[in-house]
Structure 1
Amino acid sequence: MAEKLIRQIEQSTNPDDVTSVEDLLKESASKLDSTKSYLTKDITEASVYLLQKLSQIVSETSSVVDNLSLTKNQYARQIIKLAKEMRERKKTQPMELNLMASNPFFTGIPNSYKEKVKETGLAEVVKNGTKTLEYQNSEGLYLSEFDKRVFTALTSIWVDQNCKQIFKFTEFELLRRLEMNPKGGMQHKRVRDSLRALTTTQIVIKEFYEKKNANRIVTSKFHLVASETTIEEYSKDDGKLQSREYQFQFADQIRQSFQDGYTTLISLGILDTLNTKTSRELYQLLCTIRDMAPQEQFKYTVEAGAFDVSLTEISEYMHLANNEYDNRRNILKACEELKEVYVLQDYVKLGTGRSCSAIRFYPGTLLKKEEVKVLTQG
């Protein structure tokens, strides 16, 4: 993969065209950063490969230096460095920590849940994990990973509007935040369906942590969206819809946690590089545990910087719908991917014999608190 990446870079650079080398390097780095098939580890490996290639160029040319090869190598190394910085410094998004810990979003929906919706018309379930969650949706909808992306984008818009009690947005703005084509009719429908699912969901979080009230832990019941208003404007000429604006108000509990600073930071850049739902969910779970208050985090902490989480808790947090064997296999694959992109330095399977009942996680560079703070400020 590293050699393929290098070939792509070398084809995009022309050392003879020195009219705007800086712009050329930045443009090439931006394209490289946006290519999801290249993971962070591929970019790092490419950097090492280029240094080895540089030594080879120098040794082979001896007294006569191949200036063209040297210049291409120099450009490629600069592009690699810029792309890595772009990827690592992508915006981090604060999210309400109790909500992330209870995770009212479903990686998979068991058939038994779907059958219950057919019978009652409601989506109701008690969901375990790092916190116990009672989930209810009056229209029989279960929040998906896409709904989680939409909720994250809404939070981003809300934060940009200084966490006002009521914040405004349009479908076009929301689609841009989601990096989706705002001109596609199907995309608009998908977003509207997601907003409907979010606004009709009510949850009860057991052990809701209130930082402002002397660190009390209580049971809290609320709708994710406390109120909503939709304003539509139609053309006077043909009566067609011209614009649709939404006015949302998040639950008081969410707004209070943000005011108190009880949030977790999620790197959108890292989420973009992860290939599977399980990897993305595991990354967000680890961020949540990392940022928990000491009163909640202590049950996971085993040694400096490391923490243990049972496989059962991980599966329930993600609400994985497969059997125990497949769930364990998918979680371990996710651990490998997080290790490849430096979210994890390492992980250890815990259990007796060949069994694995829990995992000990050793945070990597991109999960450690001090690194997240640096990237946020950068």
Structure 2
Amino acid sequence: MNMFIVETSNYDKIASKNPEAKGWNSLSRKILRYLDYAKEKYISIMKSGLKPNRELLKVQTLLSNTAEKLKNEKTFELKNVLFALGEERNSILHSLEQDPTSKELKEKRKIIQFKIDLINHALKARKELSRKLSHPIERNYAEAPIFSSASPNAATLVKLRNENGHIIEERKGYRKLRYSSETGTYLTTFDFRVFVGLQRIWEMKGANKSFNFSYQELAEVIDGTKDGSIYELISVSLHKLATTSLVMEDFKDEKLKKVIRTEIHNIIQSAKIEHEKKWASITFNDYLHYGLKAGNLVRINLSLYQDLNSSTAKILYPLITSLIADKRTLSIDDIIETLGLSGLERYKCVERIKRALKELVDYQIIADFTLQKVGRKYEYVVIEPTGQLLDSFEEGVTVPTLD
């Protein structure tokens, strides 16, 4: 059975980056809460009667501390807020032209400028965060068609399941594998984040095959958050990873220096998940563990991964990052199969891949790309890598200790 894609009118669309149509209601409530909190602090500082130097230091500290909390928000959401604040500032400036002596308008101008400075600080911190290639992923798992850019709807999933409720598929692309899900589901882009986050925690905790972690630790690694908002999703994802098994037909074994066919194995060999305690203990399968230990990995940045708007771009990012070490010219048909898009008409697949590649260029993951035709069909894409993309192979495995 091949991967099945359901095409809908809003499938894989990039989220709107223009809040003008929906106004403030379209903006991130979390960012707005931080802005309101910082605004009250700012007003308090301005009314405290401090000397100018002391006042400036207090404001700069407030900017830095709040920006540090906001840097984990998506770039496009921060920019949406910045756009709306700019519109509000323009309105205030226009009113000041009509009434230049208004103290109320002058105070509003100071506050809105403070908010704009705060978002700009957060965007700068976000950009610095996105430059760090801190998250390892074993290359066999980066190149195999394990994670899907979309999941079929509930009715289609029912049709795909066998009499035991499992989904079993033969998948191909840059790697061939047999995919089996006991939960009868597909692994999504969020499951990929959890999978990569687990490999980062594996590294941080000493590169042992078995390790324990709290949900808070994993949430910080994959989302930069401590508020528990994704704990339920983490539980579900860990269960899916622990109940999904694979047989890889062309696994590159770094220890044996050859390509092998793996035995059937779960992505996570075993998992003890304590949902109420928000804690888990897992064991990696041998192929994943020894591949990481042998240094058969690339590094990506999960903050940058989060910023990508289309799910196609999210799956392409680690795929290209891994493939680029050995080749710059990639088969479009292999990309289509790896992304699980073979259920769509080919020209639609090519357009979707082109949009995703443009997004990777916009986020400076790749420098550029060129589609090449053979006859009348686009058959290949030539990738021009960035320096950062090439650096993802040079860091190797590091095993830092936790404080």
Give the TM-score normalised by the residue count of structure 2: 0.67
What code does the residue aligned with 1:257 have?
G
- Distance change (3 Å), C-alpha of 1:205 and 1:118: closer
CA–CA distance in structure 2, aligned partners of residues 165 and 106 of structure 1: 26
- Shift of residue 244, structure 1, vs aligned partner: 4.9
CA–CA distance in structure 2, aligned partners of residues 193 and 80 of structure 1: 31
Provide the alpha-carbon RMSD of the alignment: 3.9
CA–CA distance in structure 1, aligned partners of residues 57 and 216 of structure 2: 37
SS in 2 for 1:326: helix
Q: Does 1:309 align with 2:330?
A: yes
- Shift of residue 119, structure 1, vs aligned partner: 4.3
- Shift of residue 278, structure 1, vs aligned partner: 0.8
CA–CA distance in structure 2, aligned partners of residues 182 and 356 of structure 1: 46
CA–CA distance in structure 2, aligned partners of residues 24 and 368 of structure 1: 37
- When structure 1 is superposed on structure 2, of 115-124 and 12-21 the one drifting more is 12-21
Q: Does 1:286 align with 2:286?
A: no
* Structure 2 counterpart of 1:258: 292
* Structure 1 counterpart of 2:148: 106
Which residue among 261, 280, 301 is the counterpart of 1:267? 301
CA–CA distance in structure 1, aligned partners of residues 125 and 160 of structure 2: 48
Which residue among 241, 250, 266 is the counterpart of 1:223? 266
* Structure 2 counterpart of 1:196: 239
Q: What whole-Å deviation, never above 9, does each CA across 1:34-79 have from its counterpart, x for those lacking one?
A: 452449999xxxxxxxxxxxxxxxxxxxxxxxxxxxxx9xx89x95
- Shift of residue 194, structure 1, vs aligned partner: 1.7
What code does the residue aligned with 1:105 have?
F
- Distance change (3 Å), C-alpha of 1:228 and 1:371: closer
- Distance change (3 Å), C-alpha of 1:158 and 1:274: same
Confirm or deny: 8 A CA contact 1:90 1:268 kept in the other structure: no
CA–CA distance in structure 2, aligned partners of residues 128 and 319 of structure 1: 9
CA–CA distance in structure 2, aligned partners of residues 364 and 248 of structure 1: 35
CA–CA distance in structure 2, aligned partners of residues 373 and 342 of structure 1: 19
- Distance change (3 Å), C-alpha of 1:85 and 1:335: closer
* Structure 2 counterpart of 1:166: 210
- Shift of residue 20, structure 1, vs aligned partner: 4.5
- Shift of residue 311, structure 1, vs aligned partner: 1.6
SS in 2 for 1:357: strand
What code does the residue aligned with 2:184 have?
G
Confirm or deny: 8 A CA contact 1:30 1:86 kept in the other structure: no
Confirm or deny: 8 A CA contact 2:145 2:340 kept in the other structure: no
SS in 2 for 1:220: coil
CA–CA distance in structure 2, aligned partners of residues 368 and 153 of structure 1: 21
- Distance change (3 Å), C-alpha of 1:175 and 1:371: closer
Confirm or deny: 8 A CA contact 2:313 2:359 kept in the other structure: yes
CA–CA distance in structure 1, aligned partners of residues 167 and 355 of structure 2: 30
- Shift of residue 107, structure 1, vs aligned partner: 1.6
- Shift of residue 334, structure 1, vs aligned partner: 0.9
CA–CA distance in structure 2, aligned partners of residues 274 and 231 of structure 1: 31
* Structure 2 counterpart of 1:86: 128
* Structure 1 counterpart of 2:185: 141
CA–CA distance in structure 1, aligned partners of residues 213 and 179 of structure 2: 27
* Structure 1 counterpart of 2:3: none
Q: Does 1:325 align with 2:350?
A: no
Which residue among 361, 381, 386 is the counterpart of 1:359? 381
* Structure 1 counterpart of 2:310: 276
What code does the residue aligned with 1:369 have?
D
Confirm or deny: 8 A CA contact 2:166 2:184 kept in the other structure: yes
CA–CA distance in structure 2, aligned partners of residues 84 and 278 of structure 1: 22
* Structure 1 counterpart of 2:61: 23
CA–CA distance in structure 1, aligned partners of residues 178 and 217 of structure 2: 32
CA–CA distance in structure 2, aligned partners of residues 30 and 247 of structure 1: 30
Confirm or deny: 8 A CA contact 1:343 1:365 kept in the other structure: no
- Shift of residue 117, structure 1, vs aligned partner: 0.2
Confirm or deny: 8 A CA contact 2:365 2:385 kept in the other structure: yes
Q: Does 1:343 align with 2:365?
A: yes
SS in 2 for 1:18: helix
Unaligned stretches of 5+ residues in structure 1: 43-71, 233-240, 292-296, 302-306
SS in 1 for 2:260: strand
- Distance change (3 Å), C-alpha of 1:158 and 1:348: same
- Shift of residue 272, structure 1, vs aligned partner: 2.5
CA–CA distance in structure 1, aligned partners of residues 212 and 156 of structure 2: 38
Confirm or deny: 8 A CA contact 2:78 2:123 kept in the other structure: no
Give the TM-score normalised by the residue count of structure 1: 0.71
Describe how 1:231-242 pairs up with structure 2 within 5 A.
none
Structure with the largest fraction of strand? 1
SS in 1 for 2:207: coil
- Distance change (3 Å), C-alpha of 1:229 and 1:370: closer
- Shift of residue 144, structure 1, vs aligned partner: 1.7
- When structure 1 is superposed on structure 2, of 258-267 and 319-328 the one drifting more is 319-328
Which residue among 124, 128, 138 is the counterpart of 2:168? 124
SS in 2 for 1:347: strand
